[in-house]
Amino acid sequence: MSRTPTRAFHGERTNAVLSWLAVALALVVGAWALFEGFVHELLFAATVVSIALVPAIALESTRAALPWELPAAAVVPLLAALVAPDLWSRQVVLYAGAGVLALALTLECHALTEVRLERWLAVTFVTMLAAAIAATWATLTWVQDIVAGTDVIASNTEVMWLLIAATAAGLFAGVCFDQYYRRFPGEELVSAPVDGVNENLFAIRADIDGAPPLEKRLPLTGETQRWLVDGMRAGLVAMIAYGLLAFDTGIVTNVGAMLAVTFVPTLLRRRYGLPFDTGLVCWITLVVFLHALGSVYVYERSFWWHNVTHPLSATLVGAVGYVVIRTLDEHRDDVHLPPALLPGFVVLFVIAAGVFWEIGEFGQDLVADATGLQMPLAQHGLDDTMTDIVFNTVGGTITALWGLPYLTDVTDTITDRLEGWRLLEHEPDTDSADTDSIRGSESPD
């Protein structure tokens, strides 16, 4: 059986002692940060302790711990922050530490659940986790600044560089997982035997089948829903006409693209037989229509409209994430996400996608500042970025909690239609170390 250096040189009991010593040190630093009012250090320490407790709680043993080098590596940013010369340096060091925490969470999935992720998807998963952790820290700090009247996060530029640092560190941690940790079985990664662990502890089957279509759940008849869709499309055409009369190519281009999006479900239904019921089409069209109305008139005059459209858009992003992972699960032998973990994945996907989008907007701002060119996307300050992240989370949560049953029929039909598609066919690698899934118990002895 493959053994990590942790188990080969120290053994289970010693590894647990070393791991808990690192956690204790994080607790001490966290208590000091609470007393001194250091928000970032407190959030980081709380995250370290929470992640470290998962194996012990799941396996009901204090000897259940991650490889000691991971808690030790997680404590390093905390200690480095204590000697950092200024607030900005402390923040960068701590946010870069999100990569280690994302790696630790991935190892716990590797050891304790039925999750299997293909190599590229595992690296992506770690990167998404790091981005989501950083976004959560930034949001909590921003809220604390508002409540307490502080300026721990002073500007939008500052928070964007912190998110970039965390995302880059997550990508590096994902490569570390792929190249090293994924080859070891689960009992090596939690430093305690996992024989007999109830896999359903994390993988209870979710009840998402058998739900009526969205069309039947809306308090409107199917005919009324179709009238609404046609009415919103007519409104989009009117906006395009306004753009033509005003010689505003931006309105014509943006709204024209949005109008085309509203016909995508119809085209997919007619061409491939995908079961987009009227309720789903109405949902998609409503999101697009409200965004178009905002871009033409409302966004510049009312901030709250932005807070309405963002969670609605996030519900669509969550739907895309759900369809993608279900399709990969169906067609790839080395990809599996238990149904009970799907809601969590959807929320993670939406938050991470939101962070990546904000980084893209920030990058375009940098290009615009350097070249003087007008870019299609732009950020509008710290509050705009943070409310985007907050409402992305709200939209993702709505989809995860209530939206998945209405996507089941569409997803099942997509997976059937893609049967035999070459890009989804599994091609086993001759290198056994490279073909191990994220599920440790399936690694070769």
**Greater pLDDT, 46 or 407:** 46
Instruction: Give domain status of residue 201, yes or no.
Output: no
The pLDDT value recorded for residue 42 is: 92
Number of domains in the chain: 2
3-class secondary structure, 164: helix
Residue type, 2: S
Report in angstroms the alpha-carbon separations of 400 from 170, 212, 214, 316.
24, 17, 15, 11
Asked whether residue 164 carries a pLDDT value surpassing 90, the answer given is yes
Summarised one tens digit per residue, pLDDT across range 128-153 is 999 999 999 999 999 999 998 888 88
Instruction: Give domain status of residue 114, yes or no.
Output: yes
Are residue 160 and residue 277 in the same domain, yes or no? no
* pTM (two decimals): 0.81
Confidence of residue 6 (pLDDT cuts 50, 70, 90): very low
Q: What angle do CA 365, 360, 99 make, to 5 degrees?
A: 125
Instruction: Of 356-360, 404-408, 441-445, give the range with the top mean pLDDT.
Output: 356-360
Are residue 14 and residue 124 in the same domain, yes or no? yes
Region of poorest pLDDT, from 43-57, 131-145, 261-275, 380-394: 261-275
The pLDDT value recorded for residue 195 is: 43
Instruction: Give domain status of residue 192, yes or no.
Output: yes
The pLDDT value recorded for residue 381 is: 87
Region of poorest pLDDT, from 116-125, 309-318, 384-393, 412-421: 412-421
The pLDDT value recorded for residue 168 is: 96
The pLDDT value recorded for residue 111 is: 77
The mean pLDDT of 32-57, rounded to a whole number, is 91
The pLDDT value recorded for residue 232 is: 94
The pLDDT value recorded for residue 163 is: 96
The pLDDT value recorded for residue 235 is: 93
Contact call for residues 419 and 331 (beta carbons, < 8 A): yes
The pLDDT value recorded for residue 348 is: 94
Closest listed residue to residue 399, CA positions, set 334, 326, 320: 320
Which residue segment(s) compose the domain that 318 sits in?
214-423
CA 254 vs. chain centroid, Å, equals 27
Confidence of residue 48 (pLDDT cuts 50, 70, 90): very high
Dihedral sign (CA 335, 337, 342, 344) = negative
3-class secondary structure, 212: coil
The pLDDT value recorded for residue 143 is: 93
Are residue 258 and residue 357 in the same domain, yes or no? yes
Summarised one tens digit per residue, pLDDT across range 342-359 is 899 999 999 999 999 999
Instruction: Give domain status of residue 205, yes or no.
Output: no
Instruction: Give domain status of residue 55, yes or no.
Output: yes
Instruction: Give domain status of residue 207, yes or no.
Output: no
Are residue 238 and residue 267 in the same domain, yes or no? yes
Ramachandran category for residue 11: left, alpha or beta (phi over 0 → left; psi -120 to 50 → alpha): left
Are residue 237 and residue 298 in the same domain, yes or no? yes
Confidence of residue 192 (pLDDT cuts 50, 70, 90): very low
Asked whether residue 205 carries a pLDDT value surpassing 50, the answer given is no
Are residue 37 and residue 118 in the same domain, yes or no? yes
Are residue 234 and residue 261 in the same domain, yes or no? yes
Let me know how long the chain is.
Answer: 445
Are residue 248 and residue 311 in the same domain, yes or no? yes
**Greater pLDDT, 243 or 249:** 243
Are residue 324 and residue 413 in the same domain, yes or no? yes
Instruction: Of 100-104, 196-200, 212-216, 293-297, give the range with the top mean pLDDT.
Output: 100-104
Are residue 33 and residue 76 in the same domain, yes or no? yes
Region of poorest pLDDT, from 15-19, 256-260, 271-275: 271-275
Are residue 229 and residue 192 in the same domain, yes or no? no
Are residue 259 and residue 173 in the same domain, yes or no? no
Percent of the chain with pLDDT over 90: 35
The pLDDT value recorded for residue 2 is: 45
The pLDDT value recorded for residue 431 is: 45
